[in-house]
Chains A and B, each alone.
Chain A
C-alpha cells in the first residue's frame, strides 16, 4: 500500500480499514472515498486497487459503471435534478433552466471555481413531492423558482449542507390509505418470536399457506424462493432486501424504510431464521442515502435489544445480522442478479440465469432476494398465520399492495389496497380528473387508457411493482413515452447489444419525431425495433424497455401521427447546416456549396 502524506491518502487508509480490505465492499469503498474529495481521481482508484488487492481494471470498470461515481472533478455542490416525467409535469424543466441561468452554467458543466455543477438524473423517488433534486445525494423536495434562487444563493455563499434550512430536506410520507401494513404498529420482536415459536419449517409452511408473492413486480411466490434457498447446498446463506427502488414513479420503499424500518429488518430476520442465514444485506439505492444514518441507528437499537446479533431472542444458535449496502445510481441493480454483482463489488450487470440466486447467489451461495414490501408482509403472516393473510386480495394475489400514486392527482402519496382493486377506484380516491392515461408499474410497466380503467391491480390482470402515474387530458402521451425512452437509453447497462444499441436508436427516433422530422418510416422502425429488443435482450430491463412505446403507439397513436411529416423520409439533421463549417473555411457561398434539406416527392 502506498503511503500518502496527504489528507485524502490517510482518509482512504481509514476507509479501507473500516471495510476490512474486503474487495466485495468495493462499491462501498468507492462511495466513501468519493465523499473525501468529491470525485475519484486516478491516484485514489489505484490506491483502492492496491488496498483491496484488485486489478486496477476491475476498480475502474466498477467506478465507471455507476452514474454517482465521478472519475472527473464535479462541483463541490453536485446538483442533480430528478428527470422523471412526473417531475417534468411539475415544471422541473423550467426550474433546471432557471438554475443554469442563475449560475451561468450549461448542463453538466462545472463552474470555473469548481463550486457547482448541475445535471439531470433518473427518477429520485420523490414523485409525490416534486419537483425534486439531489444535492450531494441529499434530496431537496417541492422545488419552486424561489427555492431555486435561495439554493443558488446558499451555493454562492459556500454554506455547507448542514447549515442549509432543514425544511429543504424534509421528505413527507404522504400515506393516504392504510390497510394491513401501513395501518399496523410495529411491536419489536413480536412477529419474530411468533416465527421462532412456529420453527423454521412451521413458518415456511405458513408462508406457503399465505401464498405471498413478491412485491417487486415479477410476483414470484416467496415461500418457493425461501424453500429453495433453504434446501440448496451451500456453506452459507444470505438474505438480501432489494431497496434499489429505481422504477420511475415508485416511492413506497422509501416510505417503508423511513417509517416502517422495524418491519423491514424484522422481516429480513425472519427470512434469515427460515432459510438458515446468518447474514442479511439491505441494498439501499444511492438516491436514498439520506436514510442511512437513521437506518444504521435502528440496526444498533435492534442489536441492543437482542433482535439482531448472537442467539437472537435467546434462541440458541440463531445468529443474524444486517449490513447496509448503498448503491450508486444504477436502475439495473434492481434486477436481482445485477444487485448481487453490485454487492460483490462489481459493475451491476445481470447474470445469466439459471442458476438462480437461490442456489448460486451472493459469493456463489444460496441467497434469497426479496423486495422491501414483501419482507414487511412477513410479519403479518408470522403473527396472524398464513390463512388469515390468504383471506385478503384475490385468489392468485393474496394480501394487500401499496401503490405509489403520482402525477395529475389531488392527493399524491401511498395508497394501500387489497389486491383486486379497480383502477377507477384508485383514481377516484386520489382525486384524479379528466384522466387520459395511467402508467402502472413504471416505465417498464403498462399504459392504460380510460377504456381499461375497469381492470384490476392483481397479478392476474394488471401486475405492478407499485408505481401508478396519472396523466390528465392536457398531457402529451408522446412526451411520456419519450421520457421513458431516454430513461432506458441512459440506464441500459451495456452488456447486451439489443438493449445497449436498441434503446439508443429508439431514443434517437423519438427525438427525431419530437423535432418534427418523423415520417411513417420512423413509425415502422419503432415497431420493428421494439420487437427485436423485446425478443433478444438479456434481462428484464431490456425486454421491458419498449413497453411504453408500444403501448402508447397502440393506444395514443394520434399524438404520434400529429407530429409526422407526410414525406417519404426526412433527415434528422439540417443538411445545409452540416456544410456550414466547410463553407466558412473554404470561403465559398456558390450554389454547389448549399443543399436543400428536404427533397419532396419521392
Chain B
C-alpha cells in the first residue's frame, strides 16, 4: 500500500483493507489452490476468460441448497445480477433451485444455506459433503443455527404436542406419522456440527457483492477474504 496521496478510490480501498483482519469471516479461510473442474484436466480459466475459449472447456460444477433456511441467502446470491453471466461462462449448476435437480452429483463447490433441523437435512448435507470438493456454509443459519435454532430453548416433544394434539376443537389429534415427513432433530445444529465445512460466508444474508467476491477469490485460487465493508451490516 503506497503512502503517497493517491486517487480517492484507491485510498478508500486501502483503508478498507486494513481492518479486515479482525472481523474477517468467522473461520478465516485457508490458502486455496485454483479449483480444477471435476472433469477437467486443465485448470479452469478465471472469470475473465473469453467465452469462446471456455465454452469448449469442462466447466466447474456448483451445487447449492437450503436446509433449514429461508432462501434469503439464495436470493442474495441472485443479487450478483448480470455477473451471473460471467459465472455461467465458467461454471454450471448441479443441484440448485435454478436447475431443480433433486440429487447432487460430483461437484467442485457446494453452497449450503440453513441449519440442520431434521433427518432429511442430514441426508442432503451428507450427500453434498460426499460429492463436493469444497463445501461452503453461507449465512447465519448454516453457521450458527440462526433463527430456526431459537426452538432449541424449547422441548421438541412439547412443541409437537402443543401444535398437533392440544389445539382446540376435536379430539384424538396425534402428531402425524407419515414416513414422508422427515423427523425433527431434538436441536437445530449449524452444519459444521454434522459435517466438515471448508469455508464460511457470514451474514444474514451476506450481500451479493460478498458472495461474488468470495466465489471469484476461490475460483481464481486466491485466499477468499472479505473486507470490512462486505461484513458490515449496520
Contacts and interface: CB of A to CB of B under 8 A. Distances in A.
Interface in A478-525: 519, 521
A526 B62 CA distance: 30
B179 interface: yes
Interface residues of B, number: 30
8 contacts: A572-B193, A578-B186, A582-B156, A582-B184, A587-B177, A592-B119, A592-B179, A602-B129
A587 B119 contact: no
A316 to B, nearest CB: 56
A154 B110 CA distance: 63
Interface string B135-165: 0000000000000000000011100110000
Contact of B157 (A569, A582, A599): A582
B183 A583 contact: yes
Interface string A567-589: 01101110101111111111110
Contact of A585 (B22, B122, B129, B157): B157
A590 interface: yes
A553 to B, nearest CB: 19
A588 B196 CA distance: 30
A595 B122 contact: yes
B28 interface: yes
Contact of A593 (B27, B179, B187, B193): B179
Lowest 4 A-B CB distances belong to which pairs? A569-B196, A582-B183, A578-B185, A602-B130
B182 interface: yes
A536 interface: yes
B119 A579 contact: yes
Interface string B69-110: 000000000000000000000000000000000000000000
A474 interface: no
A568 B130 CA distance: 11
A165 interface: no
B118 to A, nearest CB: 8
A595 B130 CA distance: 16
B174 A587 contact: yes
B193 A579 contact: no
Contact of A580 (B126, B161, B175, B186): B186
Contact of B186 (A568, A581, A599): A581
A279 to B, nearest CB: 40
A146 interface: no
Contacts, number: 74
B116 to A, nearest CB: 9
Interface of B: 22, 27-28, 119, 122, 126, 129-130, 155-157, 160-161, 174-177, 179, 181-187, 189, 193-196
A569 B130 CA distance: 12
Contacts of B189: 571, 573
B161 A585 contact: yes
A57 B195 CA distance: 42
A304 interface: no
Contacts of B129: 602
A513 B143 CA distance: 21
A72 interface: no
Given A569-B195, A581-B186, A588 B22 contact: no
Contacts of A585: 156-157, 160-161, 175
B213 to A, nearest CB: 22
A528 interface: yes
Contacts of A595: 119, 122
Contacts of B156: 581-582, 585
Contacts of B177: 586-588
Given A582-B160, A582-B186, A586-B176, 19 more contacts: A528-B28, A532-B28, A568-B196, A571-B189, A575-B122, A575-B185, A578-B187, A581-B157, A582-B156, A582-B157, A582-B185, A583-B183, A585-B157, A586-B175, A586-B177, A586-B181, A586-B183, A590-B179, A599-B126
Contacts of B196: 519, 521, 568-569
A5 interface: no
Contacts of B194: 571, 575
Contacts of B185: 575, 578-579, 582
A536 B119 contact: no
Contact of A586 (B122, B160, B187, B195): B160
A183 interface: no
A72 B122 CA distance: 40
A531 B140 CA distance: 23
A354 interface: no
Interface of A: 519, 521, 528, 532, 536, 568-569, 571-573, 575, 577-588, 590, 592-593, 595, 599, 601-602
Contacts of A579: 119, 183-186
Nearest to A576: B119
A521 B122 CA distance: 19
A583 B175 CA distance: 10
Contacts of A602: 129-130
A586 B28 CA distance: 41
B193 A571 contact: yes
Contacts of B175: 582, 585-587
A593 B183 contact: yes
Contacts of A577: 186
Contacts of A569: 195-196
A551 to B, nearest CB: 23
Contacts of A536: 22
Contacts of B179: 588, 590, 592-593
A569 B195 CA distance: 6
Contacts of A528: 27-28
Contacts of B193: 571-573
A584 B155 CA distance: 13
B221 to A, nearest CB: 21
Given A575-B185, A582-B183, A583-B183, A593 B119 contact: yes
Point out which of B22, B126, B194 has the most chain A C-beta atoms below 10 A from its C-beta.
B194
A582 B130 CA distance: 27
A412 to B, nearest CB: 42
Contacts of B130: 599, 601-602
A577 B122 CA distance: 13
A96 to B, nearest CB: 28
Contacts of B119: 579, 592-593, 595
A568 B177 CA distance: 34
Nearest to B176: A586
A532 B193 CA distance: 20
A521 B196 CA distance: 8
A594 to B, nearest CB: 8
Nearest to B122: A595
A602 to B, nearest CB: 4
Contacts of B176: 586
A53 B157 CA distance: 47
A300 to B, nearest CB: 52
Point out which of B22, B28, B177 has the most chain A C-beta atoms below 10 A from its C-beta.
B177
B183 A588 contact: yes
